[in-house]
Structure 1
Amino acid sequence: MEFLDDITTTWILIFILTGFIAGYIDAIAGGGGMIQVPVLLFSGIPPIYVLACNKVASVLGVSTATIKYALSKKISWKVVSVAIIPCLIASYIGSSLVMYVPDTIIQWAILLAIPDALFFMLKKSKTIKEEKTQVNNKNIILSTAPIG
């Protein structure tokens, strides 16, 4: 990891500051990675390490939220038991595939995906209607595996 030799004290301070800001945003509404990831990329850290760093932060945040929701009994364990294996498989496939993609393609894909995600997150629907959908194993797998 010779790229760590080029990280200066200034970058470390920037990482700490953006880490706190990204964590704060994640705690309120999610999406802290939209701040953390570009800063890590612009510092010169290879994209594969940036993705790994972001994933560690996501896992810690999701673990904390899971504990909180589990304690307040707001988790459907039926859905979790059906979704966990497809999500783990999809995560494994995605992380294996990214090892074969050149760094420049990963970097550009990340930088282009962030504004897209921000746009869809901020886009407000003019009509909000609640749909009753059947919660079955197929729907659970089809809706959660791509997240993995």
Structure 2
Amino acid sequence: MELLPPDVLAFLIAFGFCAAFIDSVVGGGGLISLPALLWIGLPPHLALGTNKGAAVMGAVASFVTFVRSGRVNGWLIRRLFPLSLLGSVIGVLVVQQVSPDILRPLVTVLLIVVLVYSVLKKDWGRENHFTGLTTRMLVLSGVVAFTFGFYDGFFGPGTGSFLLFAFLMLGYDFLGAAANARALNFASNIAGVTVFAVLGLINWSYAIPMGLSMIVGAWCGAHMALKKGTGYVRPLFIAMTTVLIGKQIVDLLK
């Protein structure tokens, strides 16, 4: 591992903290951390892997925090976790062969649908109406977990928003949806970082200091969400989804 200059180290710590603070609640932290790694000179394929290597550390912190809070449905997540993990492994392997840009137009449209639906249904997600799952809904949830796991490994942007939206559709409030979404996102992060590491696409000299700051950022972000409640998560979710849409549109116009 190389010794980083103090200014680069400070840069990674600052951006890592900010990215994980937001990502721990509603996702979208990659919009902050990935550009930061590109700005300091890492090539795109190495930046993607290094970002995953750092992000998984923050994902552990937010996952543990939400589990301890009792907001994660352990019964459901134990069944969906392996599917999300498997989907992510396949996604990372497939993206080595196919450009992820083919998904960008579809993702932009879906994010717009998620945003419009969330804005128009003002009372949606304020209270927890989840009462359990039928067999049909459990199977459908499994398909969703695998699909978004694959998407996270293959492309990534918006995974947190999509997962949070999916749990809202099951009847959770915004805070409960955020907690369970982070649990599944943790699974896809584990799978992604494992495959990137095997392929030698993680620069640990950058990933470790950024990841350590992400642990702190994720812990702070998750505790802030638990303290402030649904009234804090909903506007943050809407704001980050809007930013994601803007980013995808800009990329489409390039």
**CA RMSD of superposed structures (Å):** 2.6
In structure 1, distance between residues paired with 2:220 and 2:242 = 25
Q: CA deviation at 1:111?
A: 3.7
Q: Which blocks of at least 5 consecutive residues in structure 2 are unaligned? A: 1-70, 72-127
Q: CA deviation at 1:122?
A: 3.9
1:23 aligns with 2:145: no
Distance 1:101 1:76, change over 3 A: same
Amino acid at match of 1:63: I
Bigger shift: residues 66-75 or 24-33: 24-33
Amino acid at match of 2:153: A
Bigger shift: residues 101-110 or 91-100: 101-110
Higher RCO, 1 or 2 (CA under 8 Å, sep at least 6)? 2
Say if 2:175 and 2:229, in contact at 8 Å, map to a contact too: no
> Which of the numbers 109, 117, 132 marks the counterpart of 1:7?
132
Say if 1:41 and 1:47, in contact at 8 Å, map to a contact too: yes
- Give the fraction of aligned pairs with identical amino acids, expressed as a percent: 11
In structure 2, distance between residues paired with 1:8 and 1:85 = 37
Q: CA deviation at 1:112?
A: 4.3
1:58 aligns with 2:185: yes
Say if 1:22 and 1:36, in contact at 8 Å, map to a contact too: yes
Matches within 5 A, 1:71-110: 71-110=198-237
Amino acid at match of 1:88: I
Amino acid at match of 1:7: G
Distance 1:51 1:17, change over 3 A: same
Amino acid at match of 2:148: A
Say if 1:18 and 1:35, in contact at 8 Å, map to a contact too: no
In structure 2, distance between residues paired with 1:5 and 1:36 = 16
Q: Which blocks of at least 5 consecutive residues in structure 1 are unaligned? A: 128-148
Query: Residue 100 of structure 1 aligns to a residue in which SS?
Result: helix
Give the TM-score taking structure 1 as reference length.
Answer: 0.68
1:35 aligns with 2:156: no
Bigger shift: residues 48-57 or 18-27: 18-27
Structure richer in helix, relative to its length: 2
Which string of whole-angstrom CA distances, capped at 9 and with x for unpartnered residues, describes residues 3-52 of structure 1?
58623415434423322332232232113333321121133212222112
